[in-house]
């Protein structure tokens, strides 16, 4: 029951409360030039997609932490979720600065990610960690793509995305070192397909 209540609390905080970062955003203090209307719209859309990714990260780590019986792994998952809260707050700050809004479908994204993380964790801790590795690697690749698409003058968003990419790669490496098993190719392909649907939709909605 405690785990269920904690999971519900995490969902409500992620979806409806203003996230509070433990560490200041990498965008703080970055000189920012005025953006044209099209560039501002593009940055807003890309940061909305990144914000959705952080909503999903909260769901995934919360689900996995609620299932595992390993107290050490649970602490590590919750610590990763705490770092992802920083990302959530940073992307929200950029959305606000750009005059953009979060995805209207965030509750749907959260529910889907929670379900996937729950099922992966039910299989085994090693599979759960393998899911972390593949997820974080795909996110890091996705963020690298955004660095190539963000307007050159949006230095603040670039600073945030660069830091997030480094953190996601570190999360993947930690999960690998903790005993993650590689996911089968069909699972990896299905994850990429689901991510494509999510990112394409969130760009607009």
- How far is residue 58's CA from residue 87's CA, in Å, rounded to a whole number? 10
Binding residue numbers: 54, 84, 87, 136, 168, 171
| CA-closest candidate to residue 14, choices 50, 62, 75, 49 | 62
Its sign, for the CA torsion 110, 133, 77, 180, is: positive
Its sign, for the CA torsion 58, 60, 62, 65, is: negative
Q: How many CB atoms lie within 10 A of CB 99?
A: 9
Domain ranges, ordered by start, for the chain = 1-10+37-204
For the entire predicted model, the pTM comes to 0.93
Binding residue numbers for Fe cation: 54, 84, 87, 136, 168, 171
Q: Label residue 189 exposed, middle or buried (CB < 10 Å: 0-12, 13-18, 19+).
A: exposed
Q: How many Cα atoms are found within 13 Å in the side-chain-facing hemisphere of 169? A: 11
Q: What is the pLDDT along the chain (205 residues), one digit of tens a residue?
A: 677 777 778 888 898 888 999 999 999 989 888 899 999 999 999 999 999 999 999 999 999 999 999 999 998 888 888 889 999 999 999 999 999 999 999 999 999 999 989 998 999 999 999 989 999 999 999 999 999 999 999 999 999 999 999 999 999 999 999 899 998 999 899 989 988 999 999 999 9
Domain 1-10+37-204 fold is: Ferritin (1.20.1260)
């Amino acid at each position: 029951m405690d785990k269920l209540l904690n999971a519900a609390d995490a969902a409500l905080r992620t979806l409806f409360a203003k996230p509070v970062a433990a560490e200041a955003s990498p965008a703080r203090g970055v000189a920012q030039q005025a953006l044209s209307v099209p560039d501002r719209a593009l940055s807003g859309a890309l940061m909305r997609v990144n914000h959705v990714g952080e909503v999903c990260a909260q769901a995934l780590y919360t689900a996995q932490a609620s299932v595992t019986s390993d107290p050490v792994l649970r602490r590590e998952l919750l610590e990763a979720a705490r770092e992802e809260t920083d990302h959530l707050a940073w992307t929200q700050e950029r959305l606000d600065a750009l005059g953009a809004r979060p995805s209207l479908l965030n509750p749907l994204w959260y529910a889907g990610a929670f379900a996937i993380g729950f099922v992966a964790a039910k299989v085994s801790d090693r599979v759960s960690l393998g899911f972390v590795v593949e997820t974080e690697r795909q996110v890091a690749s996705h963020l690298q793509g955004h660095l190539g698409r963000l307007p050159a003058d949006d230095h603040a968003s670039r600073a945030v995305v660069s830091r997030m990419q480094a953190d996601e790669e570190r999360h993947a490496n930690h999960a690998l070192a903790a005993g993650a098993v590689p996911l089968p190719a069909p699972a990896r392909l299905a994850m990429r397909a689901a991510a494509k649907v999510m990112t394409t939709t969130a760009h607009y909605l």
